[in-house]
Amino acid sequence: MALFTTPTRLNPADPPPPNGRGEAARHSEASGAESRGAESLGAESSGAAPSAAAPPAAEPSATKASPAESAAAGSHAATFGRSALRHHLTNLLIALSAGCLCFIRRWYDLERLEPRALGYLRAVPPDRTLLLATVVAALIVTAIFWLAWTWVERHPTLFRRRLGHAIFLLVMLSALESVRRYWNSESSRFDTGSNLALAVLEGLLACGFVMVCFGRPRILFAARRVALMLTLLLPALAFDFTSDLFNPDEPEQFANRASLPMLPVSGDAPRVIWLVFDELDERFAFDERPADLDLPELDRLRSESVAARHALEISSWTAVALPSLISGRVFESARMVDARTLKLKPAGGGAEVDWRSQPNVFQNTRQMGRNASLVGWHHPYCRVLGDELVRCFALPSSHSTTALEHEIRAGHTGLVKAVPDLFRRAGLNLLDLFRTSEHSLSAQVNEAAVQREQQQQYFALRDRTYLDATDPSLGLVFAHLPTPHMFPIYNRRERNFDLRGARDYFDNLALMDRTVGELRAALETAGLWDRTAILVTADHGFRPDNWRGRTGWTAEFDRLTAGGTSLTVPLILKLPGRREHASFDTPISNVVASGLALAVLCGDVSTAGQATAWLEHHAQAR
């Protein structure tokens, strides 16, 4: 009996075939003797020669082969001399199946990376390094399994065979459990049916493992057949993963749309810098701010501004909220189509619309004869709306999905480093199976990578925001920044960007505050502070359901969010040359922000009284 199949070269210690018939008799057995041998296992086979797979003499007698193992080994021996090629091929296919299963999470990632819609979140066309690295890693493990089993066949002992069988079953078991956990961590909802089905299969494999230890290989054989059948899927997978080589995304899909020419600038018309801080939460920034968190720049700005105290987020999803803010129209869902197309479903019904077809604040700014620029995160703004702006800089949040984060990392590191990285991650996945912590090691590694990437994106977007903000030729500067969005990328105690000291959401709030202060200083230095309005809002508030148990989540947040999620976001308007504070307390959706920005740009709103009257009018209108 073999893990994989019959030994091609029997060890001298191996016994003769069980029925004692000669070579001719064995040849008379139809092909498929091995599988018949497997099927004949059990009580009815107990009469097979017990010495068929007996260990070498040196092996302790306690490790005698069971009748079932003996029967299988006997039937396998029947194939000796006439189907060596088939035997090797079968062993190789089972080794290949097991090798691929060791990287099942990456295959799952690769499958998730297939839809063209994911191009929306990519900065560049799909990179195939992850696919290549996964194939190479799987082939390396295949070779190891195959060579190891070939060695066992040439130096067989009962212990080695059982060990090989046990390892094979454990590989299958760990693959199922690993992908089950991955499904659960990557899915937005718990799929009871899938989890139950996988749990049953895992239970069977665990039984098989115990049985194999006692010389009962029935489940092993079934698992082996399944592994063989899985190899039938490989051609389909190969076709699936390579089909886009013949139908690639057009490179121009990933190119930014050409910007508009700059219009001449006249006079000292008011300018607007509209800052959307991703996940800036009104409750934590103001109403329930921890005692040890200082936000001096935000407080200073608000003390000189009109502030809506009950501004409501449009959606808890960045993908929906940003188009709504920019178009001044509430959408309830968004669907990515390809690298430059986002379809939106309007709230209250109506057909899905292309984001590009919708009016937006940039078009209105242009119609006023003013120049608009954008600095943005998450959306590929410049591919969608770049031709409605005089300047555009956007960094899609490519790490929005774990699969995409893996693809990008492999692309950055190259094949030579990506392969060892896959082994490292597979090792972590294995370790995670023995941990009970909700925050798995592999998730921690992924999140650390996202954290680093997000910090780099913050630097780039921040610098570009300061550059545009201090350009007097720009009438409207729209900046969507990736802070205080989790994960923490700032150390508020040390006031630096040392990620080891970045602890939680409040660190990112402190970074948001620092950004407001630096922007103000830059505008003052450029002599533009008194002719520039600052409009601050967020796409949505803090989302505990997204971050619970992940990097940056602390017990303090369990307590702080016990009452549920807050739906209020800041809506603060600092008017050019004004210092008076006014509070607006009527609940209002912050979708009015684009209209408010345009009202300031065209001069309709220039005082706190006009601003509150404008807000009152629009609060009642909605």
DSSP helix/strand/coil, 29 = coil
- Quote the tokens at residue 557: 């947040």
CB of 440 to Zn ion, least distance (A): 24
For Zn ion, give the closer residue by CB, 53 or 319.
Answer: 319
Q: Which of 540, 520, 535, 529 is nearest to 594 (CA)?
A: 535
Check residue 278 for interaction with Zn ion (CB under 5 A): yes
| Interface region with Zn ion, contact rule CB under 5 A, candidates 5-13, 270-278, 426-434, 599-607 | 270-278
Q: Which of 16, 17, 71, 18 is nearest to 41 (CA)?
A: 71
CB of 314 to Zn ion, least distance (A): 11
For Zn ion, give the closer residue by CB, 153 or 447.
Answer: 447
| Interface region with Zn ion, contact rule CB under 5 A, candidates 57-65, 281-289, 318-326, 569-577 | 318-326
The CA distance from 154 to 160, in Å, is: 11
In the window 126-185, what residues touch Zn ion (CB under 5 A)?
none
For Zn ion, give the closer residue by CB, 388 or 539.
Answer: 539
For Zn ion, give the closer residue by CB, 211 or 394.
Answer: 394
Q: Which whole-number Å values give the CA distances from 615 to 330, 477, 536, in the listed order? A: 17, 21, 15
Q: Do residues 589 and 330 touch, judged by C-beta distance below 8 A?
A: yes
Q: Do residues 397 and 451 touch, judged by C-beta distance below 8 A?
A: no
CB of 597 to Zn ion, least distance (A): 19
- Quote the tokens at residue 619: 């609060």
For Zn ion, give the closer residue by CB, 278 or 405.
Answer: 278
CB of 399 to Zn ion, least distance (A): 13
Q: Which of 586, 569, 499 is nearest to 535 (CA)?
A: 569
For Zn ion, give the closer residue by CB, 278 or 504.
Answer: 278
CB of 547 to Zn ion, least distance (A): 12
| Interface region with Zn ion, contact rule CB under 5 A, candidates 81-89, 194-202, 274-282, 580-588 | 274-282
Q: Do residues 554 and 502 touch, judged by C-beta distance below 8 A?
A: no
CB of 237 to Zn ion, least distance (A): 35
Position of minimal CB gap to Zn ion: 318
Residue for token digits 């996945």? Answer: 429
Q: Which of 511, 620, 622, 529 is nearest to 574 (CA)?
A: 529
Q: Do residues 522 and 554 touch, judged by C-beta distance below 8 A?
A: no
| Interface region with Zn ion, contact rule CB under 5 A, candidates 183-191, 443-451, 537-545, 563-571 | 537-545
CB of 539 to Zn ion, least distance (A): 4
List 253, 318, 442, 451, residue binding Zn ion (CB under 5 A): 318
List 118, 315, 539, 569, residue binding Zn ion (CB under 5 A): 539
| Interface region with Zn ion, contact rule CB under 5 A, candidates 30-38, 62-70, 225-233, 535-543 | 535-543
For Zn ion, give the closer residue by CB, 87 or 540.
Answer: 540
Which phi and psi angles does 508 have, rounded to 5°? -70, -30
CB of 318 to Zn ion, least distance (A): 3
The CA distance from 117 to 304, in Å, is: 44
CB of 282 to Zn ion, least distance (A): 14
| Interface region with Zn ion, contact rule CB under 5 A, candidates 40-48, 64-72, 539-547, 584-592 | 539-547
For Zn ion, give the closer residue by CB, 66 or 537.
Answer: 537
Task: State the virtual CA torsion across 77, 143, 139, 85 in degrees, nearest 10.
Answer: -30
CB of 540 to Zn ion, least distance (A): 5
Helix axes of 104-112 and 415-432: crossing angle, nearest 10 degrees: 120
Q: Which whole-number Å values give the CA distances from 593 to 211, 328, 367, 405, 614, in the listed order? A: 67, 7, 18, 33, 11
For Zn ion, give the closer residue by CB, 157 or 318.
Answer: 318
Residue for token digits 């051609």? Answer: 235
- Quote the tokens at residue 399: 């790490």
| Interface region with Zn ion, contact rule CB under 5 A, candidates 118-126, 339-347, 410-418, 538-546 | 538-546
Provide the binding-site residues for Zn ion, judged by CB under 5 A.
278, 318, 539
